[in-house]
Amino acid sequence: MDPLVIVGLVVVLALFFDFTNGFHDTANAMATPIATGALKPRTAVLIASTMNLVGAFLSTAVATMISVGMINDAGNLKPEIVFAGLTGAILWNLTTWFLGLPSSSSHALFGGLIGAVIAAAGFGAVNFDSILQKIFYPAIFAPVIAGVTAWLATKLAYAITKRSSDTDLATGRGRFRYGQVFSSSLVALAHGTNDAQKTMGVITLVLVASGLQADGAHVQTWVVLAAALAIALGTYSGGWRIIKTMGKGLSEVKPAQGLAAEVATAATILASSKLGFALSTTQVASGSIIGSGLGRAGGKVRWNKAGQVFIGWLLTLPAAALVGAISSAIVLAGPAGIVIDSVITVAVIIAIFQISRRNAVTHQHVSSELEEASEVVESKKQRKAATKTFKQAKSGKDKK
Amino acid sequence: MFTPIAWNSLFNVFGAALVATAAIVILFSYGVRLLVNAENAKTNAANGDVKALRSEAANRAGAYALFALSFSAVIYGVLLIVPNLIPSIK
């Protein structure tokens, strides 16, 4: 098949992936300010998409890591393999989204690509050192870094605004919601610096693989522009879904906590983008939410809930790698393989879209991973409420 | 195949995130505190306390200055990640 057709397919699919990424992640940045009433939903969505657009232009370190660092000798890679990896990632992403399983679209993308390349060209074709240093270790440490930072920032914010106990003066902590207007915009900006670059990396990879661009060359301007627009449009469209279904899951997050968590998330992602760490922005945001929950007096971890979230994270990359490897095997079977792979991908996209529309998408499907993560920490208030109902139930039994 | 963790760059991210976040949050929190002070002083001023009027103005000015500083810290942090913009930092 004409390599240009494959390149075209990859560009379209990569931009679609970018769009769904923005669509999916609006909640990470804007759920808290909407929940606390700091921003009107319409304004929040508009700001989030603009900031994503701007963020995409700030750096290309992550894109270069994917197009140059991750794959050895990308010039000898068949463009079909990039296509296979990308379809594998999209299939994994849509399926987990549909089933309501926690997953990371970034890790799905890396997993799909790595699996496809290994299946096609063996273990020597991927740069394990780069994958470990820029994806794997950051995946473990960045959420912890964000969590510790958010924990400290929450402690600081509460300590500084604390009033001595003998006065009944207000602490004014509600005012942190005005700061959240900026901190959540910062998260959206950071999201653009990391996630839009993943798409740029994939498009550049296929350009290098098909010989349209020299190996190791810079990301081209039209690629940056297309990726930036796709993520911004996705963010904008995704916002309307959140507004309708905005979960109560984050209502426990107070403005001061929200600000601390958001600044920690943005700082961690921005610093990582600078060094070319390709992160899951959702995992970093989850780390911050957990950290800030623990930073408030009486916050406690629900370990079984935490376990669920972490296992979902760990599984994504290898599982997507497997799907990527399978679709790579199909594609390598011959020209018909590409057609089969495309047909499967498009069929799954349409099927899931149709089913989710008919079912009007239940809250389980649309609730963000961030809400999931916020449930990892049990606040003092929640624990008190739980003990109260437990005692009531117990005394009710005793009477019988 | 399994290379040791490059702690250096991870510590860089940790350090940058921690310092930047702490600076921004501390500045903003003190801003909030001063703003509340200003509001309390305003109530006292309304009750005829002459000194409170000056206290309100000072606290409010301080609060806005801190908010502005906090915002500048954010902008500076963002500009740091853009390549070649601030040459002193690689």
In a domain, B13, yes or no: no
Distance from CA of B14 to the nearest CA of A (A): 6
Residue B6 within any structural domain of the chain: no
Take residue A57 and report the two structure tokens written for it.
């232009």
Please judge whether A173 and B82 are an interchain contact, meaning their C-beta atoms are less than 8 angstroms apart.
Answer: no
Q: Which of A8-22, A273-287, A376-390, B16-30 has the lowest mean pLDDT?
A: A376-390
User: Minimal Cα–Cα distance from B57 to chain A, Å?
Assistant: 18
What's the CA gap between A26 and A159, in Å, rounded?
31
- The residue among A88, A77, A59 whose CA lies nearest residue A127 is A77
pLDDT over 90 (residue A26): no
Spell out the residues 6+ positions from residue A174 whose beta carbon is closer than 8 angstroms to its own: A255
Instruction: Give A13→chain B minimum CA distance, Å.
Output: 28
Say if B72 falls within a structural domain. Answer: yes
Q: For residue B88, is it within any domain? A: yes
Closest chain B residue to the Cα of A143, Cα to Cα: B14
Kindly report the CA angle at B17 between B13 and B22, in degrees rounded to 5? 155
Q: Which of A96-105, B38-47, B58-67 has the highest mean pLDDT?
A: B58-67
Phi, psi of A71 (to 5 degrees): -110, 130
Provide the shortest C-alpha distance from residue B87 to chain A (in Å).
Answer: 14
| Cβ <8 Å between A153 and B71 | no
Which domain does B72 fall in, by range? 33-90
Q: Do B12 and A156 touch (CB under 8 A)?
A: no
Q: CB of A153 within 8 A of CB of A123?
A: no
Verify whether the Cβ–Cβ distance B35 to A149 is below 8 Å.
Answer: no
Q: Do A160 and B77 touch (CB under 8 A)?
A: no
Distance of alpha carbon A396 from alpha carbon A205, whole angstroms: 66
What is the per-residue pLDDT for A359?
61
Tally Cβ neighbours within 10 Å of residue A363.
13
Binary contact (B17, A173; C-beta < 8 A): no
Question: Per-residue pLDDT for A166 more than 70?
Answer: no
- Mutual orientation of helices B7-46 and A255-274 as an angle, nearest 10°? 150
* Cβ contacts of A213 within 8 Å, gap of 6 or more: A204, A207, A220
A156/B14 CB distance under 8 A: no
Picking from A11, A142, A140, the residue whose alpha carbon sits closest to that of residue A86 is A11
d(CA A296, CA A152): 10
Summarised one tens digit per residue, pLDDT across range A325-355 is: 988 888 888 778 888 888 888 888 888 777 7
Q: CB distance B33–A273 less than 8 Å?
A: no
Kindly state the tokens that stand for A211: 């010989």
pLDDT of residue A374: 75
Residues A115/A323, Cβ–Cβ less than 8 Å:
yes
**What pLDDT was estimated at residue B55?**
86
Tell me the nearest-neighbour CA distance from A124 into chain B, angstroms.
Answer: 10
Contact A267 B2 (CB under 8 A): no
Mutate to test the interface with B, among A134, A149, A169 (most CBs of B within 10 A): A149
Q: Is residue B64 part of a domain?
A: yes
Per-residue model confidence (pLDDT) at position A114: 93
Residue B19 CA, chain-centre distance (Å), reads: 11
pLDDT above 50 for A71:
yes
Smallest CA-to-CA distance from A28 within A235, A182, A199, A233 is with A235
**Which are the contacts of A310, defined by CB distance < 8 A and separation ≥ 6?**
none
The answer to whether A320 and A115 are in contact (CB under 8 A) is: yes
Total Cβ atoms within 10 A of residue A349:
16
> By percentage, how much of chain A surpasses pLDDT 90?
30
State pLDDT tens for residues A138-157: 988 999 999 999 999 999 99
pLDDT at A245: 46
Residue B52 within any structural domain of the chain: yes
- Asked if residues A159 and B25 have their Cβ atoms less than 8 Å apart, the reply is no
Nearest to B74 among A157, A186, A274 (CB): A186
Residue predicted with more confidence, A297 or B64: B64
- Secondary structure (DSSP) of B33-86: HHHHHHHHHHHHHHTT-HHHHHHHHHHHHHHHHHHHHHHHHHHHHHHHHSTTTS
Mean pLDDT of A208-217: 84
- Span of A164-168, A232-236, A364-368, B15-19 with lowest mean pLDDT: A364-368
Domain ranges of chain A: 3-399
pLDDT band at B84 (very low <50, low <70, confident <90, very high): low
Q: What is the DSSP letter of A162?
A: -
- Residue B74 is predicted with a pLDDT of 94
Rounded Cα distance between A20 and A237, Å, is 9
Q: Enter the tokens of residue A301.
A: 């971890």
Tell me the residues of B at the A interface, defined by beta carbons under 8 Å apart: 1-3, 5-6, 9-10, 12-14, 16-18, 20-22, 24-26, 28-30, 32-33, 35-36, 39-40, 70-71, 74, 77-78, 80-83
Q: How far is CA A17 from the centre of its chain?
A: 12
Q: Residue A365's pLDDT is what?
A: 42
Residue A43: CB atoms within 10 Å: 14
User: Nearest-CA residue of chain B relative to A159?
Assistant: B29
Q: What is the four-CA torsion angle of A359, A364, A366, A372, rounded to 10 degrees? A: -170
Chain A residues with beta carbon closer than 8 angstroms to that of B16 = 267, 271
Dihedral angle computed from the Cα positions of residues A252, A255, A259 and A260, in that order, rounded to the nearest 10 degrees: -60
Per the structure, the count of domains in chain B is 1
Residues A227-261 as b/e (b if ≥16 CB within 10 A, e otherwise) read bbbbbbbbbbbbbeebbeebbebbebbbbbbbbbb
Q: Tell me if B4 is assigned to some domain.
A: no
CA A303 to chain centre: 22
CA A106 to centroid of chain Cα atoms: 6
Measured between alpha carbons, how far is A112 from A304 in angstroms, rounded to an integer?
Answer: 29
**pLDDT tens track for A101-127:** 667 788 889 999 999 999 988 888 889
Spatial contact of B55 and B41, defined as CB atoms under 8 Å apart? yes
Q: What are the residue ranges of helices labelled H in chain A?
A: 3-35, 41-56, 61-64, 79-99, 105-121, 128-131, 137-160, 176-209, 221-245, 255-274, 281-295, 303-332, 335-358, 363-366, 369-374, 380-399
Give the span between the Cα atoms of A270 and A258, in whole angstroms: 18
Distance (Å, whole) CA A71 – CA A77: 9
Whether B56 is in a domain gets the answer: yes
The answer to whether ipTM exceeds 0.95 is no
3-state secondary structure of A185: helix
User: Which residue in B has a C-alpha nearest to residue A271's C-alpha?
Assistant: B13
**Type of residue at A127:** N
pTM of the model: 0.86
Which residue type sits at A345?
Answer: T
pLDDT tens, residue by residue, A274-300? 998 988 888 898 889 889 989 988 778
pLDDT of A113:
92
Average pLDDT rounded to a whole number, residues A249-278: 87
pLDDT tens-digit readout, B28-37:
999 999 998 8
Residue linked to tokens 């930036």: A228
Residue B82 to residue A58, Cβ atoms within 8 A:
yes
Listed residue (A235, A196, A216) closest to A60, CA to CA: A196
